[in-house]
Amino acid sequence: MLSFGPYETVSRIAAGGMGEVFVARRHGTSAFEKKVALKVLLPHLAHDREFVERFFDEARLVARMNHPNIVQIFDVGETDGRPWLAMALVEAVSLSRLQLEAAAAKEQLPLPVVRLLATGLLEGLAYAHALKGPKGEPLGVVHRDITPSNLLVSSDGAVLLTDFGIAKATLNMHRTQPGRLRGKLAYLAPEMLTAEPVDQRADLFSAGVTLYQLLTGVSPFLKPSDTETMDAVKRAQPPRVESLRPDVGPLMAAALHRALSRAAADRFASAREMREALSDGPVASAPELGELVRRLCAKQLGAFVETPSLTPSSIEGGTSSLPAPRTVSQPVPERGSRAWLWRSVALVTVLGVAAGGWRWSRPAAPAVVEVEAEAPVLAAPEEAAPTPELEPLPPVVAPVAPRPTARPVKTRPAGTSRPTHPPLIEPVRVGFLTADAAPWAEVFLDGHALDRTPLSRFPVPSGSHTVTFKSSDGRKIERPVRIEEGQVAVVRVEFAADK
């Protein structure tokens, strides 16, 4: 068994070109225990400043994020010179795995499911692209690695964007040299291959490639060699999506065609604009997507079984034999002004099966991690600044509520202490709230501030609640809402009509 900070490894999930990921366990007082996904930099890279900087860049960036469609990191540290990140575990598979299993079953992903996947991906991107720094300055985040492998779908139908390991942001310590490629060639925007300036529209191109592939089962630019693939990205025009998928409507087809424009200026101006253009019909519900994931990926989801404890000799150098790639899960901690709500939904996130911890600053979103045994496209190390020191986050804690249980009375030898039993946590039933207003407004739930509109799929304990909209000029509109477990309640208001 290996230890990294307060975490003890249970089993290794997978390893890639940069790190290895373990299921790990943290113990606390009163028999508290929490499992996490622990990403650890490979031993031979732990003294390479470029990889260390990139590792901590991801931690700093994602720690600022709070969105239900983005993976969350909630702890970071370094043990014996090896940096590690603690992330929540969620029962999920990658979108690439879902697509492979659908193809094996000779099924196409239904259009409503693709619209839901597109909504989750683009909502997550819209949030990341608009992220601001500690002084309110735009961070200029560009993910640079939008692919089906980096989009996760859970057994409960959550859609989450992951892996910001090569993301571009102004707060990054590591700077990619001009002309050095990052990401997977078949998904890169043309300007990334020609050393032109890159902005958030590059992510929209990659999102278009991903959605095209989901709809048709065909990668629009992937060729037998890297050279041919890059040439196709820069010059080739893929077949119109409706020619390969006749049930795709003209609006969705036009939106994908625009997203795949070679010139960034011809694409959508924002992820939200692209999402709206793709919304040309019914959108599947989260339970519908979850049922599809469970049916097609039952084998992968059945891999959530602890393996024998690890020893240093069993993983020396990160080269030991690995089980098949697996995805594991649990909800993450929450922070900030919404603490009252997340205490109620600590078991929510995607699965609603475990309690998270708190950090008292800004609320954290549900998160997952999946790592497949696939090495990313990496360039050779370069000279960089000294390794940055990252201030460690506070310890993860979680509320536990004892539940009295009837137990038979047993005698015990004199002088022995009474055995203790782990406290049990009552499950919380959760649904989702989507709220919008014209014009925009601040949203409050039962008097507690949530966010500005539009608010999409915010997890809320099931039951009766009151949603309050507050416009920029101070007017308020209240609406009662009933949240049903696993369902999305939609509330929309227009202030002009309620004067």
Catalytic residue IDs: 145
Sequence-ordered list of residues with C-beta below 8 angstroms from that of 384, at least 6 positions apart, any chain: 49, 50, 53, 173, 174, 175
Q: What crossing angle do the helices spanning 201-216 and 111-129 adopt, rounded to 10°?
A: 170
Contact 489, 445 (CB under 8 A): no
Q: What crossing angle do the helices spanning 250-259 and 271-278 adopt, rounded to 10°?
A: 150
Contact 336, 362 (CB under 8 A): yes
For the record, the structure tokens of 192 come out as: 């990334």
